[in-house]
């Protein structure tokens, strides 16, 4: 894989293109945007700045592909076989894709590899699942045969953020294509290159032109135009609650459905009987993964009062050992994605310090990390009042809030006491308590004595409350990306 349709500008920047109807193309305006490497703060590539005109072309291509015999006449098993082939091609190109993902997002190289591996797993899972989606027969009356079948929505618009481009693309594309939809994808202007490369691999795997279209550009231009396009049949969005509101309004105007995955402020509850030697390293690791820029990051640790001192000592030592550095140096932490996220994270920490919240422990930035890169240290604060901004809002950075509690009821109240509800972690040896608290959590997923459970390709994922609605991953996504049709036949 050499970088599909790429060339170099006079400043030595690699030129990436959008993908519309199976062809690499620039924006119709000819405009481009620079891609910044978060590790250095300097541009390394360009992408087309697509506009509404390009969105129109991509949606038309996806709509035409929906009716083309080379797509419609494929059986579910044949679609699955192409997804399996795509998984194989990604595997063959793993090194280059992992490097590209890490350079583009700033994540340490090992995490880049982890993300490519997860993408392979998604395409394998949905490749195998494509021909295992079944309807029902319904016993309504004598002389009738009634049945349900699952059909594709049609053209699915997918708006993807910068934190996990490859993984989120794979989880959407795997399920959507398995069910026979076609796709128009608007990845983030901050990180989208692995998605462009993978879409070309999909063509090589046998997906017909127009089934996967990639529009690069700005959210408020290409993204907004895509969400309002009257020819799309469904939208799936991952990102901030504010943009999620706009997406849902756009979907309402077209009377189409949407899946919204809008982040979280997920609690990790550590009860008095928890095994801290297991819990605390996992809590630290799952918060710091991807620099805390993970929707399901367990960014609030609720610690039982009796274990407070022990917990803060361990986390102080743990956070002090965390070093941030360039993606290729593969340290614990990479840079954040861009200057505005860096400002945002620093502002949260400054407010916390001004409000007198103790900083328990802080990591360092490697001396060789370029000064123009978007680096910040890992920080753990506590005790953080449960209603403080730091304990309520999504920081999206390497910042952990510790909150003490005394009783199970109090822990449940604090855990559920934010506008979000994505994931919750429970650490206890008491099975009855684990069951009670798991049932009481207002969240889409709950983990007991573990967290994140190895990526969880098979596990339905999504939120309640401000974390959004709808489910991706696992078999649940096959339902999300299809529509149920009921057929009734009178055979008297
Ligand atoms: P964002 O603006 O919501 O961006 C998410 C996606 O939506 C990107 O592809 C973005 O494109 C696109 N977009 C932006 N404005 C749009 C519009 N008006 N219409 C259609 N699409 C639009 O998020 P952000 O600014 O990158 O990050 C801000 C905060 O959101 C973070 O600090 C974090 O709290 C949260 N966030 C959550 C997740 C998650 O996984 N749940 C992911 C990212 C961010 P461009 O990037 O090209 O503008
Ligand atoms: Mg980038």
**Do residues 395 and 345 touch, judged by C-beta distance below 8 A?**
yes
- Ligand 1 atom nearest to 394, measured from its CA: 34
pLDDT at 149: 97
Neighbours of 44 (CB within 10 A): 17
- Ligand 1 atom nearest to 227, measured from its CA: 20
Sequence-distant (6+) residues with CB within 8 A of 249 are: none
Distance, CA of 160 to CA of 219 (rounded, Å): 10
Segment holding 356, helix H or strand E = none
Closest C-alpha to 104, from 376, 338, 325: 338
Q: Is pLDDT above 90 for 145?
A: yes
Q: Could you say which ligand is closest to the alpha carbon of residue 103?
A: 2
> Tokens standing for 298?
């367990």
pLDDT at 455: 67
Sequence-distant (6+) residues with CB within 8 A of 136 are: 147, 148
**Do residues 194 and 166 touch, judged by C-beta distance below 8 A?**
yes
Distance, CA of 306 to CA of 404 (rounded, Å): 9
pLDDT at 484: 97
Q: Is pLDDT above 90 for 377?
A: yes
> Tokens standing for 472?
């991706």
Sequence-distant (6+) residues with CB within 8 A of 207 are: 82, 86, 177
pLDDT at 2: 47
> Tokens standing for 340?
């505005």
Closest C-alpha to 96, from 14, 210, 216: 14
Say how many Å lie between the CA of residue 85 and the centre of ligand 2. 28
Say how many Å lie between the CA of residue 340 and the centre of ligand 2. 13
pLDDT tens for 182-224 read: 999 999 999 999 999 999 999 999 999 999 999 999 999 999 9
- Ligand 1 atom nearest to 294, measured from its CA: 40
Catalytic-role residue among 221, 261, 408, 480: 261
**Do residues 211 and 21 touch, judged by C-beta distance below 8 A?**
no
Mean pLDDT of the region 416-433: 98
Closest C-alpha to 212, from 162, 251, 176, 238: 176
What is the Cα 471 distance to its own chain's centre? 12
The mean pLDDT of the chain is 97
Distance, CA of 399 to CA of 380 (rounded, Å): 6
Q: Is pLDDT above 60 for 29?
A: yes
Residues in contact with ligand 1 by the CB-under-6-Å rule are 159-163, 186, 188-190, 218-220, 223-224, 227, 238-240, 243, 246, 261-263, 295, 341, 344, 394, 396
The C-alpha angle with vertex 222 and arms to 38 and 106, in degrees rounded to 5, equals 10
Does the annotation count 295 as an active-site position?
yes
What is the Cα 180 distance to its own chain's centre? 22
Q: Which of 104-113, 179-188, 444-453 has the lowest mean pLDDT?
A: 444-453
Distance, CA of 54 to CA of 487 (rounded, Å): 38
Distance, CA of 279 to CA of 268 (rounded, Å): 9
- Dihedral sign for Cα 161, 235, 45, 197, please: positive
Name the CA radius of gyration of the chain, rounded: 23
Catalytic-role residue among 286, 295, 349, 480: 295
- For atom 35 of ligand 1, the residue with the nearest CA is 240
Sequence-distant (6+) residues with CB within 8 A of 412 are: 437, 440, 441
Does the annotation count 204 as an active-site position?
no
Q: Is pLDDT above 80 for 10?
A: no
- Dihedral sign for Cα 223, 227, 231, 234, please: positive
Percentage of the chain modeled with pLDDT above 70: 98
DSSP at 190: T
pLDDT tens for 61-97 read: 999 999 999 999 999 999 999 999 999 999 999 999 9
Say how many Å lie between the CA of residue 270 and the centre of ligand 1. 31
**Do residues 269 and 415 touch, judged by C-beta distance below 8 A?**
yes
Instruction: Please name every residue paired with 151 in a beta bridge, in sequence order, or none if there are none.
Output: 483
What is the pTM assigned to this prediction? 0.97
């Amino acid at each position: 894989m050499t970088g599909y349709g790429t060339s170099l500008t006079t400043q030595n920047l690699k030129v990436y293109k959008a993908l519309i109807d199976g062809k690499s193309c620039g924006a119709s305006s000819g405009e481009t945007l620079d891609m910044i490497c978060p590790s250095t703060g300097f541009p390394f590539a360009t992408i087309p700045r697509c506009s509404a005109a390009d969105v129109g072309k991509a949606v038309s291509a996806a709509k035409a592909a929906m009716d083309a015999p080379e797509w419609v006449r494929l059986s579910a098993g044949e679609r699955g076989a192409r997804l399996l082939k795509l998984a194989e091609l990604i595997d063959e190109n793993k090194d280059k894709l992992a490097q590209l993902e890490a350079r583009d997002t700033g994540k340490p190289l090992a995490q880049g590899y982890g993300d490519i591996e997860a993408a392979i797993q998604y395409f394998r899972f949905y490749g195998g699942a494509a021909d295992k989606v079944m309807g029902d027969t319904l016993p309504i009356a004598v002389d009738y045969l009634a049945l349900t079948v699952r059909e594709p929505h049609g053209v699915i618009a997918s708006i993807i953020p910068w934190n996990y481009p490859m993984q989120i693309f794979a989880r959407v594309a795997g399920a959507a294509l398995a069910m026979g939809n076609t796709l128009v994808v608007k990845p983030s202007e901050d990180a989208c290159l692995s998605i462009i490369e993978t879409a070309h691999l999909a063509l090589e795997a046998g997906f017909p032109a127009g089934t996967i279209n990639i529009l690069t550009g700005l959210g408020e231009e290409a993204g907004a135009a895509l969400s309002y396009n009257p020819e799309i049949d469904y939208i799936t969005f991952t990102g901030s609650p504010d943009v999620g509101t706009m997406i849902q309004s756009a979907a309402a105007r077209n009377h189409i459905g949407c899946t919204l995955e809008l982040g979280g402020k997920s609690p990790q509850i550590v009860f008095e009987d928890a095994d801290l030697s297991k819990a605390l390293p996992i809590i630290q690791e799952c918060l710091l993964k991807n620099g805390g820029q993970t929707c399901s990051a367990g960014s609030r640790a609720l610690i039982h009062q009796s274990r407070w001192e022990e917990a803060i000592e361990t986390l102080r030592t743990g956070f002090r050992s965390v070093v941030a550095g360039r993606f290729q140096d593969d340290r614990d932490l990479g840079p954040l994605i861009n200057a505005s996220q860096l400002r945002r994270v620093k502002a949260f920490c400054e407010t916390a310090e001004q409000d007198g919240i103790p900083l328990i422990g802080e990591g360092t930035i490697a001396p060789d990390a370029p000064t123009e890169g978007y680096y910040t240290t890992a920080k753990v604060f506590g005790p953080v009042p449960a209603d403080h901004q730091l304990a309520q809002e999504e920081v999206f950075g390497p910042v952990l809030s510790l909150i003490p509690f005394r009783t199970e009821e109090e822990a449940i109240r604090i855990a559920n006491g934010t506008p979000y509800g994505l994931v919750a972690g429970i650490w206890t040896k008491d099975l009855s308590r684990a069951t009670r608290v798991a049932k009481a959590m207002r969240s889409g997923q709950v983990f007991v004595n573990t967290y994140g459970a190895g990526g969880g390709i098979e596990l339905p994922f999504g939120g309640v409350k401000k974390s959004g609605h709808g489910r991706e991953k696992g078999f649940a996504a096959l339902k999300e990306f299809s529509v149920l049709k009921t057929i009734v036949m009178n055979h008297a």
